[in-house]
């Protein structure tokens, strides 16, 4: 392939991507694909000779895209958003085309220095503690990881090695294996699965401490666990708090946990993968409480900050502790000229040696959207979730199981768990809407999350129509009378209509229709 053909291929790929994104609202969010259908459709060996790019794009469009779950669809409301933006997509293309690996400064100076600049931008944008900035005197700073899973694992390993060094210096009679065998960590029973996995990979048992109905990890649970472990000869090493739990987006009591961790000299990491983006909004200032006293923090740019997956940031109060745990020096990894000591070799801040130029797509995305554009996007997620919440509150067949926060509404059908499960099954079978279940105590519930690249108010209206219609069908099948309808009953007669609901305090004030 020469450059002329590359240009044609690239133009064709961009055109395909535009067609895909422009029509994504019209596609079923879930595919109608049988297991192994792709395996049986595609050849079982690579072609012997090069194929024309148009044939490749045709197969992408006709075989692979129909078998996708469309994460950027405005009807995708499962898990969490995997955000993107036009600037970030272009950035990803440029990263692949430039093709550099910035594991140390000499291997590509722009990779290191742009990452420092962009992450310092974010410290200011999110109003994080100043010691997380590279430009501030001190040992702190930030680094881009692939995901929250990597950021949490890296933090657990750094905490583990710091504790081993400390105990060894205080108790030289103890062997290193004895010390490692006594280490233990803590997290909430509402923490993300990556926390439990990090404990397995780092060989530190992570105790999942119980939370109450509000799903918040508080001081008393941590203190009780610490006292029990200390009395048994174990060595508390790290606590992983969550700012925005996976199930309900609850916020652990960071201030109280930080005070305890300082008292017992254990590492406090905060996983704010989703909700950390809200720190950019003044109305979420309360989430900032306690962050001055934590050791590390991770936020995923690919959830709410319009940078496509994968791009997660890990900030450290003292990055030297991480470097001590990860540093391996080989002659071929030395920088080829004298460096300012403040310039990091990011290979020592992560698991792998090689690293992609992820800062480039973040830089392009932020420049093409701007700080105000990011804040507007965040507030749009909140406004759309508020709209959905009003629908739930106005239908007495449903109930909320947690306070709405950011772009997440947690709700269920009143009554037996089986009703909620069967409702979800009917919704998924129709493939027009995608949500997932979660559990709080003994209650199963549905998580409605604002996702997609361009979710609009009419998409929320469409989702509510789909949900309430499927519940009505379920009740009719079960032969049960529906719960008494509210005074202002909502009817949506045609999905092909754009429907605007004027809601106030859960009541329908007006309905206007405009044909698409």
| CA quadruple 87, 89, 94, 100: dihedral sign | positive
Report if residue 423 sits inside a domain. Answer: yes
CA atoms of 400 and 359, how far apart (whole Å): 39
426 falls within a domain: yes
**Alpha-carbon torsion 207, 209, 215, 219, what sign?**
negative
- Among 51, 68, 85, give the residue marking a domain's end: 68
| Per-position b or e across 57-79, b if 16+ CB within 10 A of its CB | eeeeeeeebeebebbbbbbbbbb
Split into its structural domains, the chain has a count of 3
Quick one: 245 and 166 in the same domain?
Answer: yes
Question: What pLDDT, on a 0 to 100 scale, did the predictor assign at position 504?
Answer: 37
Cβ neighbours around 54 below 10 Å, total: 11
429: in domain: yes
Give the orientation angle of helix 148-170 with respect to helix 193-202, to 10 degrees.
40
- In a domain, residue 427? The reply is yes
**What tens-digit pLDDT sequence spans the chain (516 residues)?**
999 999 999 999 999 999 999 999 999 999 999 999 999 999 999 999 999 999 999 999 999 999 999 999 999 999 999 999 999 999 999 999 999 999 988 899 999 999 999 999 999 999 999 999 998 888 999 999 999 999 999 999 999 999 999 999 999 999 999 999 999 999 999 999 999 999 999 999 999 999 999 999 999 999 999 999 999 999 999 999 999 999 999 999 999 999 999 999 999 999 999 999 999 999 999 999 999 999 999 999 999 999 999 999 999 999 999 999 999 988 888 876 565 556 899 999 999 999 999 999 999 999 999 999 999 999 999 999 999 999 999 999 999 999 999 999 999 999 999 999 999 999 999 999 999 999 988 899 999 999 999 999 999 999 999 999 999 999 999 886 554 443 334 333 333 333 444 433 333 333 343 433
Helix extents (H) in 171-316: 176-182, 193-202, 219-231, 254-264, 301-304
Look at residue 92 and tell me if it is in a domain: no
Beta-carbon contacts of residue 123 (< 8 Å; ≥ 6 apart) = 129, 130, 132, 133, 142, 315
Is residue 95 assigned to a domain?
A: no
Q: Which range marks the domain in which residue 152 is found?
A: 100-356
* 149, 240: one domain: yes
One domain for residues 316 and 410: no
Asked if 320 and 461 sit in the same domain, the reply is no
pLDDT at residue number 481: 56
CATH number at residue 345: 3.40.640.10
* Residue 361 domain flag: no
| Cα–Cα dist 462/74, whole Å | 10
pLDDT of residue 447: 97
Please say which residue of 356, 390, 405 terminates a domain: 356
DSSP 8-state assignment for residue 66: G
Q: What is the CATH number of the domain that holds 403?
A: 3.90.1150.10
Q: Report the CATH number at residue 11.
A: 1.20.1340.10
Phi, psi dihedrals of residue 335, rounded to the nearest 5°: -70, 145
114 and 191, same domain (yes or no): yes
The SS3 call for residue 236 is: strand
Residues 386 and 383: their CA atoms lie apart, in Å, by 5
Asked whether residue 172 falls in the same domain as residue 213, the answer is: yes
DSSP states along 342-363: TS--GGGGSSSS----HHHHHH
Domain boundary among 47, 68, 89: 68
Q: Are residues 313 and 461 in the same domain?
A: no
Domain contains 371? no
Do both 197 and 312 map to the same domain?
Answer: yes
Do 352 and 383 reside in the same domain of the chain?
no
Per the CB < 8 A criterion, the answer to whether 255 and 289 are in contact is yes
| Same domain for 416 and 460 | yes
Residue identified by tokens 């600037």 is 87
The answer on 456 and 389 residing in a single domain is yes
For the CA atoms of 244, 249, 251, 252, what is the dihedral angle to 10 degrees?
Answer: -80
Predicted structure pTM score: 0.90
Angle, CA 427 vertex, CA 424 and CA 429 arms, to 5°: 110
- What is the C-alpha separation between 94 and 86, in angstroms, rounded? 13
At residue 137, the pLDDT reads 84
User: Is residue 308 annotated as part of the catalytic site, yes or no?
Assistant: no
320 by DSSP, 3-state: which? helix
Q: Are residues 408 and 349 in the same domain?
A: no
Return the structure tokens found at 219.
Answer: 């001081």
> Of 192, 300, 308, 348, which residue is the catalytic one?
192
Q: How far apart are CA 153 and CA 161, in angstroms?
A: 12
């Amino acid at each position: 392939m020469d450059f002329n053909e590359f240009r044609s291929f690239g133009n064709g790929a961009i055109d395909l991507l535009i067609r895909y994104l422009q029509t994504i609202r019209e596609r079923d969010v879930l595919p109608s694909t049988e297991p192994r259908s792709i395996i049986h459709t595609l050849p079982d060996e690579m072609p012997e000779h090069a194929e024309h790019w148009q044939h490749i794009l045709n197969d992408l469009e006709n075989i692979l895209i129909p078998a996708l779950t469309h994460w950027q669809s405005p009807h995708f409301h499962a898990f969490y958003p995997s955000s993107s933006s036009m600037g970030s997509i272009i950035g990803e293309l440029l990263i692949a085309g430039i093709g550099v690996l910035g594991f140390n400064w000499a291997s590509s100076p722009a990779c290191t220095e742009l990452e420092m600049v962009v992450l310092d931008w974010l410290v200011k944008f999110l109003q994080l503690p100043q010691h997380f900035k590279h430009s501030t005197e001190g040992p702190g700073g930030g680094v881009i990881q692939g995901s929250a899973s990597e950021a949490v694992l890296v933090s657990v390993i750094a905490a583990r090695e710091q504790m081993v060094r400390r105990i060894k210096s205080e108790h030289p009679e103890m062997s290193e294996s004895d010390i490692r065998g006594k280490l233990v960590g803590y997290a909430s029973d509402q923490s993300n699965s990556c926390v439990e996995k990090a404990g397995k990979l780092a060989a530190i048992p992570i105790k999942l401490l119980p939370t109450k109905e509000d799903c918040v990890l508080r001081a008393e649970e941590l203190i009780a666990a610490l006292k029990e472990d200390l009395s048994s000869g174990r060595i508390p090493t790290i606590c992983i708090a969550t700012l925005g739990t996976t199930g309900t987006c609850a916020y652990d009591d960071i201030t109280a946990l930080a005070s305890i961790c300082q008292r017992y000299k254990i590492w406090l990491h905060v996983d704010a993968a989703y909700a950390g983006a809200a720190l950019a909004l003044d109305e979420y200032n309360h989430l900032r409480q306690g962050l001055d006293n934590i050791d590390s923090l991770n936020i995923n740019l690919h959830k709410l900050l319009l940078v496509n997956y994968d791009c997660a940031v890990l900030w450290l109060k003292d990055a030297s502790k991480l470097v001590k745990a990860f540093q391996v020096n080989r002659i071929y990894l030395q920088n080829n000229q004298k460096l300012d000591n403040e310039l990091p070799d990011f290979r020592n801040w992560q698991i792998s040696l090689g690293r992609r130029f992820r800062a480039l797509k973040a830089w392009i995305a932020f420049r093409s959207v701007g700080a105000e554009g990011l804040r507007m996007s965040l507030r749009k997620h909140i406004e759309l979730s508020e709209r959905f919440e009003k629908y739930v509150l106005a239908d007495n067949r449903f109930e909320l199981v947690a306070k709405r926060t950011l772009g997440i509404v947690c709700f269920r059908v009143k009554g037996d768990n089986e009703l909620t499960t069967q409702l979800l099954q009917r919704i998924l079978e129709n493939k027009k809407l995608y949500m997932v279940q979660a559990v709080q105590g003994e209650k199963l519930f549905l998580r409605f999350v604002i996702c997609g690249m361009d979710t609009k108010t009419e998409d929320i209206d469409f989702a509510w129509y789909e949900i309430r219609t499927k519940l009505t069908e379920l009740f009719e099948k079960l032969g049960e009378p529906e719960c008494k309808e509210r005074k202002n009953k909502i009817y949506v007669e045609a999905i092909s209509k754009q429907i605007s609901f004027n809601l106030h305090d859960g009541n329908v004030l007006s309905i206007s229709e405009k044909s698409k």
